[in-house]
Chains A and B, each alone.
Chain A
Amino acid sequence: MSETMADAGADTQPLIKVENLRKLFPVSKSIFREAHDFVHAVDGIDFEIAPGESLGLVGESGCGKSTTGRMLTKLTDATSGQILLADEGELIDIASIQRSHMRRFRRRVQMIFQDPFESLNPRRTVYDTVAESLTVQRIGSVQQREERVAELLHRVGLTPPEQFLFRYPHELSGGQRQRVAIARALVIDPTFVVADEPTSMLDVSIRISIMDLMLKLAEEFNVSYLYITHDLAVARYMCDRIAVMYLGKIVEIAPTEELLSNPQHPYTRALLSAVPVPDPAHKRERIDIKGGISKALNPPPVCRFIERCPRATDHCRTSDHPEFTDLGDGHFVACYNL
């Protein structure tokens, strides 16, 4: 998880390439009438993730980060746009995969959810949960599956595995459950994992051990993460690059330290200035922005941030949402007034 890896991302073939991805949710007043209003949850985003890289997707609640994650794992279908996944030398478009090919897709892409209390089936043992994707994918004999599950439990730190194989979720602590969820995601050797706030339900002390585990496994399994979080400090710890989302748009994307030390978008600056710092002597530069996050219901085509932006000019009010400006070294920002 070094800076060199983030730089490497630019030259090599991307693992995931997202182009103009959109998701609109219809808001209909009556079940008999066709919807005319749409919430633009994700409204035309582009990004790439290199093999082995982890990209952080940060933003406030309702900005569309989870919807993006769900589209990348095909738990939600995209309204339009492309999600290209490199698989054995060819690029497959996730958005157009047919049901019959879903199994191959699921071997490559897995997900870790926020709440380990909700995401594990309470009636299945740890073994059942972790072995399920092996069974579905028809990988190995029963004995091989058992060995593989035991190996995974060992690697996620549930040792000795025999003690955990036949336990139920209610017999495990939050941290242990999240380890099971990680084992479940990694058991079939995926190349890409979407992790949606995997540590936000955990206590601070357990959080670090889960984050360290995910970093270690990313290297061992050579997986890429899309790491969705509202916590910039966590994103800094976990990610090579960070993308900041606001109302369905990515407003800034840059290598982690570059984004934190040299934020360019007014929203990124406001967000960074609001993060509490665990040091009472630290004096923060406060950047005030007006109001709260609004809903992305039929947003006008101008910059999404315009209502709260301290820099907004007449040009912003009459132009489309700004395209990315390339600031070099992988730093892109969507703002007219840099």
Chain B
Amino acid sequence: MAQTLHIESRGGRVGTPLLEVQNLVMHYGTKEGEVSAVDNVSFTLNNGEAIGLVGESGCGKTSVALTLLRLLPDNSVIKGGDIKLDGESLIDLDEEQMRRRRWRDISMVFQGAMNSWNPVYRIGDQIREALRLHWPETLTYQEETDRIGALFELVGLNPVTMERYPHEFSGGMRQRAVIAMALSCNPKVIIADEPTTALDVIVQDQILRELKKIQQELGMSIIYISHDIAVIAEVTERMGVMYAGKLVELGSTLEVFHRPRHPYSYLLLSSTPSITGPRRKLAPLEGEPPNLLNPPTGCRFHPRCPFAIDKCSSEEPGLVEVGEGHSVACWNWQEVPEIGGLQK
């Protein structure tokens, strides 16, 4: 009984590697040809850690998440690489084995998930369904109810409200309930893809605080995916910057924000308005992301890059270490100035 009330992360010791993504390559087949949506992406998520993936729309952040969960559409092909959870490869699992791991080992909070509740079932019963399918033992009805109540309390909802229908919940409450459902089976990893994008700023703040509290108190490991770098700055310890299907920079959030080394990260940060700090002119990022049917040769960012040199259009840079735990894929990273440096 007490077991079923206990909400925890089933990951290992905090700080040890939990999810290892190695050289992941994923393509979508389309009528026009193959779209290289995820190209050679590698990163590690440690136990108890929150990491973030940022980038513009179409850069492949959600494709990475879908690949990790193996929830890809039919036209996708995982071309190579490996995903290891606790040392076990997820790539080789068949559909049934993978299905068992979803919710139980890797759960998810998707963008707009608050709108994916079935309107004709009570919120509590929908979480009950996840428990029935994915909890390793069979629970009694009362045990399930108790656990759902405990989950509700953890995410800041009154347990009484589990009897309600989705339309009786506000957007923020629905999103809290989505988080409760993601935690329902004590997962090892939560993937939160734009978890607060459709919410108002005060509610967003409350939800992010809730997630951060859960991560720190339960030692939960979370991958945040967002286009909003301010959100990533708030909740993550390490972050990766994606551009056109590639991971171009990876490092501690503090380091990447204060001393970005990739021109794209630099421009992304420089073009984000803030309500703090001096009111400064922002540097726009010229041009548009490339068509991944036919990505640019060499570095995929070179056509838009103010720091590009000849080599950039012909040779592709790999990730190189530029500081402790900080790596960047750029030939000319030494030239990237400090934030605000271009205007000086």
A281 and B230 in contact (CB under 8 A), knowing A270-B202, A276-B205?
no
- Could you mark each residue 295-306 of chain A with 1 if its beta carbon is under 8 Å from any beta carbon of chain B, else 0? 000000000000
Confirm or deny: B290 has a beta carbon within 8 angstroms of a beta carbon on chain A: no
B31 within 8 A of A: no
Given contacts A203-B56, A280-B257, contact A233 B231 (CB under 8 A): no
Residues of B within 8 A of A175 (CB): 288
A60 and B201 contacting across the interface, CB-CB below 8 Å: yes
Q: Are A61 and B200 in contact (CB under 8 A)?
A: yes
Asked if A212 is an interface residue, CB under 8 A from chain B, the answer is: yes
Among A227-265, those with CB < 8 Å from B are: 230-234, 236-237, 256-257, 260
B170 contacts which chain A residues (CB < 8 A)?
292
CB distance from A217 to the nearest CB of B (A): 15
Residues of A within 8 A of B253 (CB): 280
> Is A289's CB under 8 angstroms from B286's CB?
no
Tell whether A325 is near chain B: CB-to-CB under 8 Å: no
Q: Is A337 an interface residue (CB 8 A)?
A: no
Contacts of B231 in A (CB 8 A): 276
Nearest residue (CB) in A for B257 is A280
Annotate A193-237 by CB proximity to B: 1 below 8 A, 0 otherwise: 000000000011111110110000000000000000011111011
A209 to B267: give the CA distance in the assembly, Å: 12
Cβ B275 vs Cβ A204 within 8 A = no
Query: Within the complex, what minimum Cβ distance (angstroms) separates A195 from chain B?
Result: 15
Segment at the A interface, from B37-45, B177-185, B276-284, B320-328 = B276-284
Contacts of B200 in A (CB 8 A): 60-61, 230, 293
User: Residue B102 at the A interface, CB < 8 A?
Assistant: no
Closest to A278 in B: B230
Q: Is the CB of A276 within 8 A of B234?
A: yes
B303 at the interface (CB under 8 A from A): no
The answer on a CB contact under 8 Å between A277 and B275 is yes
CA distance A265 to B226 in the complex (A): 31
Is A135's CB within 8 Å of the partner chain B? no
The verdict on A212 contacting B284 (CB below 8 Å), with A276-B205, A278-B269 known, is yes
- B208 to A276, Cβ gap below 8 A? yes
Count how many chain A residues have C-beta atoms less than 8 Å from C-beta atoms of the other chain. Answer: 40
- Shortest B245–chain A CB gap in Å is 16
Give Cα A281–Cα B256 distance, bound, in whole angstroms: 12
Whole-angstrom distance between the Cβ of B257 and the nearest chain A Cβ? 5
Any chain A CB within 8 A of the CB of B122? no
8 Å CB contact of B271 from A208, A271, A281: A208
Q: What separation, in Å, do the CA atoms of A293 and B273 have in the docked complex?
A: 26
Selected from B236, B272, B288, the residue in CB contact (under 8 A) with A204 is B272
Question: Does B227 lie within 8 Å of A204, measured CB to CB?
Answer: yes
Give B226's nearest chain A residue, CB to CB: A276
Interface: A139 (CB within 8 A): no
Contact across chains for A237 and B282 when beta carbons are under 8 A apart: yes
Q: Which residue of A lies closest to B236 (CB)?
A: A280
Cα(A270)–Cα(B203), bound, Å: 11
A10 CB-CB contact with B under 8 Å: no
Q: Which chain B residues border A277 with CB–CB below 8 Å?
A: 230, 233-234, 274-276
Given A60-B202, A236-B273, A272-B275, residue A279 in contact with residue B257 (CB < 8 A) = yes
Q: Which residues of the other chain, A, contact B288 by a CB distance below 8 angstroms?
A: 173, 175, 206
From B172, which residue of chain A is reached at the shortest CB distance? A292
In the assembled complex, the Cα of A233 lies from the Cα of B257 at a distance in Å of 18
Q: Closest chain A residue to B205 by CB distance?
A: A274
Bound-complex Cα distance A293 to B267 (A): 35
From residue A329, how far is it (CB to closest CB) to chain B in Å? 17
A205 to B282, CA, bound (A): 10
Q: Hey, what's the 0/1 contact readout for A74-98 against B, CB within 8 Å counting as 1?
A: 0000000000000000000000000
Task: Determine if A232 and B275 form an interchain contact, defined as CB atoms under 8 angstroms apart.
Answer: yes
Contact B254 A275 (CB under 8 A): no
Nearest B residue to A210 via CB reads B284
Nearest CB in chain A to that of B253: its residue: A280
Cβ-based interface call for B91 (8 A): no
Within the assembled complex, what's the spacing in Å between the Cα atoms of A211 and B254?
Answer: 28
A29 interfacial contact with B, CB 8 Å: no
* Per-residue interface assignment for chain B, residues 32 to 73, with 1 indicating a CB less than 8 Å from any chain A CB and 0 otherwise: 000000000000000000000000110000000000000000
- Residues in A157-190 with C-beta less than 8 Å from chain B: 173, 175
Q: What's the nearest-Cβ distance from chain B to residue A210, in Å? A: 9
**B229 part of interface (Cβ distance < 8 Å):** yes
Contact B273 A205 (CB under 8 A): no
Residue A282, interface by CB 8 Å: yes
Give chain A nearest CB distance to B25 CB in angstroms: 24
How far apart are the CA atoms of A237 and B229 in the complex, in Å? 17
Shortest distance between the CB of B240 and any CB in chain A (Å): 14
Q: A276, B258: Cβ atoms under 8 Å?
A: no
Chain A, residue nearest B268 (CB): A204
B105 beta carbon closer than 8 Å to chain A: no
A204-B227, A276-B208 given as contacts; is B202 within 8 A of A271 (CB)?
Answer: yes
B4: Cβ under 8 A from any A Cβ: no
A204 vs B269: C-alpha distance when bound (angstroms): 9
B76 within 8 A of A: no
Question: 1/0 contact trace for B203-246 toward A, CB 8 Å?
Answer: 11110110000000000000000011111011010000000000
Cβ distance A13 to chain B, nearest Cβ, rounded Å: 28
Closest-CB distance, B143 to chain A (whole angstroms): 32
Q: Which of A204, A233, A281 has the most CB of B within 10 A?
A: A204
Kindly state whether residue B285 has any CB partner on chain A within 8 Å. Answer: yes
Contacts of A272 in B (CB 8 A): 275
Whether B268 and A205, one on each chain, are in contact in the complex, defined by CB atoms closer than 8 angstroms, is: yes
Return 17 A-B CB contacts under 8 Å, by A number: A61-B200, A173-B288, A204-B272, A204-B285, A205-B271, A206-B288, A209-B284, A212-B282, A230-B201, A231-B273, A233-B275, A257-B279, A271-B201, A276-B231, A278-B269, A279-B277, A281-B258
CB-based closest 9 A-B pairs: A205-B285, A274-B205, A276-B230, A233-B273, A209-B284, A60-B200, A278-B230, A208-B284, A208-B271
A-side residues, CB < 8 A to B, are 60-61, 173, 175, 203-209, 211-212, 230-234, 236-237, 256-257, 260, 270-282, 286, 289, 292-293
In addition to A206-B288, A232-B275, A279-B276, 5 A-B residue pairs with Cβ atoms within 8 Å of each other are: A60-B202, A205-B56, A231-B273, A276-B204, A276-B234
